Every structure is written in structure tokens, then in C-alpha cells.
């Protein structure tokens, strides 16, 4: 049996995108979309999505569950590392002081980085622990919706 690697990866990427979108995150696929989203006033949670196991098993489930909280960001967006390269690079240009990391989360307020949850804080951790970290950020920086 032969497996077409590109076909397989396209399916993996499609599923990873759908999981984020179905959880309520708007995909930013171009640098212009990133700039437009980050220019909005208020808080923005950015999911830096990827196809690795810790993204699928920890980060995306945490992204979906963390937003069920009294306080949450004004907007939820995602960029896809390794797929939408220019959009991801533009998003990372806002994350001053943090090295590139995926999967990861960035919380911005009025377009400025407030805090990141980096890959090393996701990989090897329980999704519930990542949810708790996200919700602690929401409690500190976000308003009730």
C-alpha cells in the first residue's frame, strides 16, 4: 500500500484549521489580515497553530475549552505556522521579546504583546493545565463578555 504524503498532510492541515475555526478562532492567512486584526482595540488571543502532536492533543483542545469562562478576549484569531508563513511571520513580529514557538498562544492588548504561553509550556503538559494558564491571563487582562 502506498500513501500519498502530500494528500495525507493536506488532510492533517485541513483538520487542524477546522478545529481552530470550529472553536471560534478566525484564521488570519495574510500579513494584511494580521495587521488589521491586531490594530483593533481590546484584547486578542492568538493561537499559533501547527500540525505537531502537542498542537492537536493539547493546544487546540485548550484553545477550545479556555474560552468558556467569565472573562475572555475580545477577539480570537489564529495563524498557522509552517502553512501561512507570511501571516505567521507578521504575527510573530508583534511578539517582541519572545522567540518563535509553535504551537503557542499570544495575548495582545491594543495590539501590544502582554504575555505568551510558549511551546515549552504546552508540550508535555495536560490540556487542563494550559486551560488554567489561559484563563488566568483572561482573569487578569480581559473583561467580562
Residue 1 has pLDDT above 70, yes or no: no
Tell me the C-alpha distance between 58 and 25, whole Å.
Answer: 16
Q: Which residue among the candidates 16, 28, 52, 81 is catalytic per the annotation?
A: 52
Segments making up each domain of the chain, as ranges: 1-141
**Residue 54 catalytic?**
yes
DSSP three-state, residue 67: coil
Q: Quote the percentage of the chain above a pLDDT of 90.
A: 89
Average pLDDT, the chain: 95
CATH classification code of 1-141: 3.40.30.10
Q: Which residue among the candidates 28, 34, 37, 54 is catalytic per the annotation?
A: 54
Q: Give the CA distances from residue 65 to residues 3, 89, 137, in Å, rounded to whole numbers and listed in that order.
A: 34, 26, 14
- Note the pLDDT of residue 92: 98
Band (69; pLDDT cuts 50, 70, 90): very high
Amino acid at each position: 500500500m502506498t500513501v500519498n504524503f502530500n494528500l495525507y498532510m493536506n488532510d492533517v492541515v485541513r483538520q487542524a484549521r477546522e478545529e481552530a475555526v470550529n472553536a471560534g478562532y478566525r484564521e488570519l492567512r495574510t500579513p494584511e489580515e494580521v495587521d488589521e486584526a491586531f490594530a483593533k482595540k481590546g484584547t486578542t488571543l492568538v493561537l499559533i497553530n501547527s500540525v505537531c502532536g502537542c498542537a492537536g492533543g493539547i493546544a487546540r483542545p485548550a484553545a477550545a475549552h479556555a474560552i468558556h469562562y467569565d472573562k475572555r478576549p475580545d477577539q480570537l484569531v489564529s495563524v498557522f505556522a509552517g502553512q501561512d508563513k507570511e501571516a505567521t511571520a507578521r504575527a510573530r513580529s508583534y511578539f517582541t521579546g519572545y522567540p518563535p514557538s509553535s504551537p503557542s498562544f499570544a495575548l495582545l492588548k491594543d495590539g501590544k504583546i502582554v504575555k505568551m504561553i510558549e511551546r515549552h509550556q504546552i508540550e508535555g503538559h495536560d490540556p487542563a493545565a494550559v486551560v488554567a494558564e489561559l484563563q488566568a491571563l483572561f482573569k487578569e487582562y480581559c473583561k467580562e463578555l
